Amino acid sequence: MAETTRTPREIQTRAVTERPKQWQQPELLPEPDKQEGYAYRWIRVSTLNSADPRNLSAKLREGWEAVKSEEQPQLAMLADPNSRFKDNIEVGGLLLCKTPKEFVEQRNAHFDNLSKSQTESVDNNIMRQSDARMPMFSERKSTTSFGKGN
């Protein structure tokens, strides 16, 4: 028998098939690296090159604080070079801000309670004007019934 020379299996490799990369539309705002315990949000500081200090002031009083460029170095190069906020990250009139997640949860709970109380107030107002002979309000329940096929 003739001996055949075989290449060792370690040397043989399969060509790694990789999907060709496809173009995709870029996101309008870059996504920051999340820091544990904080929520991030882009807050409007100007519209059509007109400053909006009222909105920014309200958000800062609400507990949001501007993110420093050093905290998100990958976003620093995307920041507006003509920004009023030199040490922060502003893109297209929006300033990157963060706040503790507890503040966001408390804010959401506050507005949920406000919404529920307003809904109850409207419902009570309608019920006060309702007449038993012709009710204006129906319970917010849905039922499903199955009929017999003829």
Does residue 135 lie within any of the structural domains?
no
Sites in the chain below the pLDDT cut of 50 = none
Q: 47 is in which domain, residue-wise?
A: 40-99
Does residue 58 lie within any of the structural domains?
yes
Question: How far, in Å, CA of 99 to CA of 67, rounded?
Answer: 10
Residue 56 has what pLDDT?
Answer: 93
CA-based nearest residue to 95, from 58, 40, 50, 49: 40
Q: Are 83 and 91 in contact (CB under 8 A)?
A: no
Query: Domain count of the chain?
Result: 1
Residue 135 has what pLDDT?
Answer: 65
Residue 20 has what pLDDT?
Answer: 77
Residue 36 has what pLDDT?
Answer: 93
Residue 12 has what pLDDT?
Answer: 65
Does residue 69 lie within any of the structural domains?
yes
Question: How far, in Å, CA of 97 to CA of 42, rounded?
Answer: 6
pTM: 0.63
